[in-house]
Chain A
Amino acid sequence: MGTIYLIASLGEVYAERSGVLNLGLEGMMIMGAAISFIFTIAYGHLVAILMAALIGVLMSLILAVMAIHLRLNQVIVGLALTLLGLGLSGLITFPDIRRRILSSLNPSLPESMLMIQQAEKLPEIPIPLLSQIPLIGKTFFTHNILVYTSLILAIIMWFILFKTRYGLIIRSVGENPSMADSLGVNVFLVRYVTVVISGLFASLAGAYFFIGFHPFWREGVTAGRGFISLALVILATWNPLRAILGAYLFGGVETFQYRLQLFGLGAQSPYFLAMLPYIITIITLILISIESIRKRIGVPASLGTPYSREEA
């Protein structure tokens, strides 16, 4: 469960580290889910994941052009993209429209496949030997491929961000773009790349959510999980490794909520549990605004402000 938050927030960490707030996360996520739904039925999982990645890149390019080059307000553009994603993905809820898309994508599909609301789930791959460990083996080592990939990616992305030159460039662009520019860093290029990474990861997270976890389509299927990922980025204080912990914490809270309902325990508690990620995030936001903590973590200082040479 936590994996969806992990994947989405990994990309967002990069975008925010370079100073761009991508509020289109939710829209990109749900488009990833919608595209993976359609393409899994038409061509299978591999194509679905590739196409989901493509849609994320396309949507984040819109954000990049509008927010970085044209210097429009990032928040507003991001919200517009979220709305666009919700609207476009809502269209395929209608069977007629879905049938038309599917039959034009792959005319050889049988009639029965055109109407289904459900896609095939990704197979789970048990890790040999480790999954044989009694008790914990099944919980920890039997997952689909995206779960394993996301963990490895988190470590790689942490390494790049904090231990290599590229990471230093990204962080310096987020910290002080005009300084970075005067040192010869191409601020615009760096931000383009990070925004595209965040879009790519967001829609992959949507694809994972849909074909790896919950393969039944309904309108608004991601239900605000993009915004939870946004919260996670803050909780993880812009660090991919801490994002792993935070992701499984949020995922755990959500699973716990379902369990409680199953056992009929505390009919009221699910709503308060559902609030928890947001409350934790607000507390984190307040904590990191304290100057000494802020300095230690290195909150990207130029987050949300567009950069232009003329005006700097």
Chain B
Amino acid sequence: MTDLTALSLCEARDGLAAGEFTSSELTDAYLSAIEGARGLNAYVLETPEKAREMAAASDKRRAEGKAGALEGVPFGVKDLFCTKGIRSTACSNILGNFVPPYESTVTENLWASGAVLLGKLNMDEFAMGSSNENSAFGTVVNPWKAAGDDTPRTPGGSSGGSAAAVAAHLCAAALGTDTGGSIRQPAALTGTVGLKPTYGRCSRYGIVAYASSLDQAGPVARTVRDAAAILKVIASVDDKDTTSVDAPVEDYEAALEAPMKGLKIGLPKEYRVDGMPAEIEESWQKGADWLRAAGAEVVEVSLPHTKYALPAYYIVALAEASSNLARYDGVRYGERVPADEIVEMYQKTRAAGFGEEVKRRILLGTYVLSAGYYDAYYLKAQKVRTLIKRDFETIFADGVDAVLAPVTPGPAFPLGAKTDDPVEMYLSDVFTVPINMAGLPSIAVPAGLSSEGLPLGLQLIGQPFREAGLFAPARAIEEAAGSFTATKWWA
């Protein structure tokens, strides 16, 4: 039999449906692959018993003619999602051995479609980071290396474990979350497809909160088709999340076949930033050419407030984080550092439990919300956010269907290269953050390899709740660029 882990999610789904192999066989193939790739540190918790049990149940359902949309397909799940009865830590020491007595809605939807859980994936603590170097479980290593260079590189972050696991074929697909680029940036750095749906498309219930007005769940997958199939299953309106929106969930795989002719694609001139490496610019140009060749009209557009998205993001996100993370007090869950007096207990618990980047962000968030600074920082940033959203509304009103832009300012950087300067690290998200600030859907697609042989990605940004319009152009890029698989070196 061919290596089952080499199949894309949709190929595996179709092979299972055709009876070519069982979910138990497929799941076992992934469990051995995971065992043989611990050096990448992609999984923080392997759940082989649960996986085998779910796979057997799936095979039984199929035999009974009750197969769901993703029946029997094995997934990895970012450790930010609460999974009932299975340790969920947000890769923070402060959550210790937290075992949720409930399930997140997105994972619930996934299991209801027949999918199988392989384990929980590594990430930056509380989804705060762009390199996966802020995890309490240690960093993830990118399966990709530069040609002739053994330097270990970042898989990106915060969904670094999700992206590395998909790139190394340690799951058919993975779930991630994207607050400022945390799905798309790691997807771009690992040659995988990452989709951030519109804010409100997927329920946030049961996902550990970082910045509630920005957080959104989505898939990391091997192909555009895989991402489409997963979105169909995970999208839902949910009574448990008042910000989830009752928008019709479409047949996104059918949307792959939508005509490209007449599609108007915008290239925002403000994304052509100073010091952008020539190969990023070239890959962007190539992407535009591919879309034009596929029948789209490509026009230059202007999003004048682009450069202010990142500073405004760091105010809004950190303010929300400081409020959200107030709940980690050592009382109801997580690790407590005992003290005689309650405030001292809080202070010691939080000092010991949070990592450096998380502390930095909580303190900055607390500062910008504190008396006398609220108007100067938080209110101002929310006004700038209005302007960023208006920029997109203006070009969409002018008939632009989607925007094409780079995902990252460069390919995967070596581990440790940006850990000394927080602002330098924050700049990794310069092209992804504006989309979260505007609440829009965006899909990152592999667009080629850099001169060093590292993956580069392009993103297509769409109108709110028009994810369906992204899949045909995303596939046009995918088909033109080809697909890329890292050569196995890990063990």
Q: Does A pair with B?
A: no
Query: Residues of A at under 8 Å CB distance from B?
Result: none
| Chain B residues in the interface with A (C-beta under 8 A) | none
